[in-house]
Amino acid sequence: MDYRIVLLKGDGIGPEIIDEACKCLDAIGEKYGHQFLYDEQLIGGAAIDELGIPLPQDTIDACLASDAVLMGAVGGPQWDSLDPSIRPEVGLLGIRKALGAYANIRPAKLYAPLADACPLKPERLGDGLDLIVCRELTGDVYFGKKHRDADGTGHDDMNYTIPEIERIAHRAYALAAQRRNHVTCVDKANILETSRVWRETIERIAPEYPDIVTDYLYVDNASMQLVLNPGQFDVILTGNLFGDILSDEASCITGSIGMLPSASLGEGTLGLYEPIHGSAPDIAGRGIANPIATILSAAMMLRYSFGLTSEANAIEWAVDTVLEAGYRTSDIAKPDEATVSCAQMGDLIAADILQ
């Protein structure tokens, strides 16, 4: 079967890591009899340099006509001086909105071979770390009204409607039902009216899922619990701002932000898949980027957009096997360990898929 995938390579290390993910997808296609048809489009700084805007209409149209979108990263210091309304990050927010992607699914898993890279003491890890942050993606302060007064005072409007909260809640409970039946709602309901609406909505929905345990944490406590006892979490359900921060914190516990994928999903099967890290301009072009987060994002694409569970498992198992064999990119290697390049890591994972 043919699958149409738009590639948004973006900036910095984006093109390098996308190339390695495509290498692994091609191995899947060869092994399982699929064909992945790639359509490369512009976004972020690359689009600004060529067309003067971070998100061209042609990119939006191509993404909407595709079966899935695989993205690298956007941004870099050469665009930092631009007006905020046309910076590369606007392209990322814009494509999420254009796709109606309201649910950002960010798994955080500590692979056993990388346990030494975790900054936490072993006794803090318990049975390990395997959680998902289910982050609402289209509301909160990122999309609220913004204003600056004449005296320089800044305003960012944090708001959520009940239907926005309801739909991300149902997504989180569906994820928990496939995992360990536990949802932790994270908010700041003791202070923020937006969070009180959030918590009241979750409290009303939770009884619809009697087999799933629901508990509630304020975001400051949740951030502490992530480092004190991360094994207690299964699915963390939270808003856009808190989810952005907590998922980055969770990524550090896994040993490297270069290991974590993400999926941004809407109502249908069309999704946007990307690593959670940035464009890393300081290492761009040096061949040392870690492509695993992007490769695992491709696995999420196979699972969530294409319904190819066996194929997604094959990628994830190949990553496990390569790590177990001791291969490391520089970000996950010990000081005395030999490392492989970005392309070599892609080669190793693709070769294992084909075995």
Q: What is residue 100's predicted lDDT score, i.e. its pLDDT?
A: 93
**Burial (CB count <10 Å: 0-12, 13-18, 19+), residue 195:** buried
Homologous superfamily of domain range 1-109+258-355:
Isopropylmalate Dehydrogenase (3.40.718.10)
159: left (phi over 0), alpha (psi -120 to 50) or beta: beta
E strand or H helix that includes residue 53: none
Domain 119-253 has CATH 3.40.718.10: yes
Q: What is residue 57's predicted lDDT score, i.e. its pLDDT?
A: 98
Q: What is residue 60's predicted lDDT score, i.e. its pLDDT?
A: 98
Q: What is residue 142's predicted lDDT score, i.e. its pLDDT?
A: 83
Reference 7, options 211, 15, 33, 90; nearest CA is 15
Q: What is residue 334's predicted lDDT score, i.e. its pLDDT?
A: 84
**AA identity, residue 239:** G
Q: What is residue 180's predicted lDDT score, i.e. its pLDDT?
A: 97
Residues with pLDDT less than 70, the chain: 127
Q: How far from 318 is each of 302, 313, 327, CA to CA, in Å?
A: 15, 8, 12
Q: How far from 317 is each of 43, 171, 295, CA to CA, in Å?
A: 31, 25, 12
The reply to whether 119-253 shares the fold of 1-109+258-355 is yes
Q: Which two tokens stand for residue 110?
A: 């500590």
Q: What is residue 327's predicted lDDT score, i.e. its pLDDT?
A: 95
Domain limits, the chain? 1-109+258-355, 119-253
Enumerate the active-site residues: 142, 188, 220, 244, 248
pTM, whole model, 2 decimals? 0.90
